[in-house]
């Protein structure tokens, strides 16, 4: 599988993502957004960063760039897509997933490790984990608070499309363990179909054993 990691102006986790995928034996390449999706694309990552300086709203500009039409078509044809951090903001702004990631409750940029509880282990992104398992991922965002209308939140939860929630070390989903004020502690969700997912925490930053833990590998293995 060739995974296209799309670089927008201001993306900055693109190379990390390619390296993390390479380390898992998954073929990945950087794709500059103006060059369009390569023919051989079998997976897509919208990486982290600060595309277009977070102008207007984080992800708003990249979500409306021409390559996103190709991304939409590829996703509709079944190509798996993962949006990480700024890529998650782009995914929501592009309506690939519902809701929006907006300014943290603290009004501050937060860069820290958090615990996540795996809510649904029956998706390509989470099948390497057990339901209820607690994993540790880093976050690094100023706009990571998940907001969504109540009726759409009900539907998202009823359809079991919440992948990860912020929790404490023991897996308790509490307000104290919610780093950014996200509705119902939501850290990552799937789209209408579970081959699309977005998440604010960074799996690619916990995928290389040389630099720490490898809890994030399970998410990236969806591209195998």
Residues near another protein (CB under 8 A) are: 56-57, 60, 64, 93, 98-100, 102-107, 145, 147-149, 181
Closest CA to 117 of 46, 48, 183, 174: 174
Whichever of 124 and 142 has its CB closer to another protein, that residue is 142
State in angstroms the smallest separation of the CB of 98 from another protein: 8
Q: Provide, rounded to whole angstroms, the least separation between the CB of residue 113 and another protein.
A: 22
Nearer to another protein, 56 or 111 (CB): 56
Name the minimum Å distance from CB 54 to another protein. 13
Catalytically active residues are 85, 202, 204
Q: Which is nearer to another protein, 43 or 142 (CB)?
A: 142
Find the length of the chain. 224
Quote the distance between the C-alpha of residue 160 and its chain's center. Answer: 17
């Amino acid at each position: 599988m060739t995974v296209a990691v799309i670089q927008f102006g201001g993306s900055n986790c693109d190379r990390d993502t390619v390296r993390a995928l390479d380390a898992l034996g998954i073929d990945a390449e950087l794709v500059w957004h103006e060059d369009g999706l390569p023919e051989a694309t079998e997976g897509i990552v919208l990486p982290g960063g600060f595309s277009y300086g977070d102008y207007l709203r984080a992800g708003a500009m990249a979500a409306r760039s021409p390559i996103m039409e190709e991304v939409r078509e590829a996703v509709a044809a079944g190509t798996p897509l993962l949006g990480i951090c700024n890529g998650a903001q782009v995914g929501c702004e592009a309506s690939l997933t519902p809701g929006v990631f907006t300014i943290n409750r603290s009004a501050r940029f937060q860069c820290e490790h958090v615990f996540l509880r795996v809510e649904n282990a029956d998706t390509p992104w989470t099948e390497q984990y057990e339901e209820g398992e607690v994993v540790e991922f880093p976050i690094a965002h100023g706009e990571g608070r998940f907001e969504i209308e109540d009726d759409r939140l009900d539907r998202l939860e009823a359809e079991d499309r919440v992948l990860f929630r912020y929790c404490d070390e023991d897996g308790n989903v509490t307000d104290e363990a919610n780093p950014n004020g996200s509705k119902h502690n939501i850290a990552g969700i799937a789209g209408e179909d579970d081959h699309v997912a977005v998440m604010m925490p960074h799996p690619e930053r916990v995928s290389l054993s040389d630099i720490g833990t490898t809890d994030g590998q399970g998410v990236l293995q969806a591209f195998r």
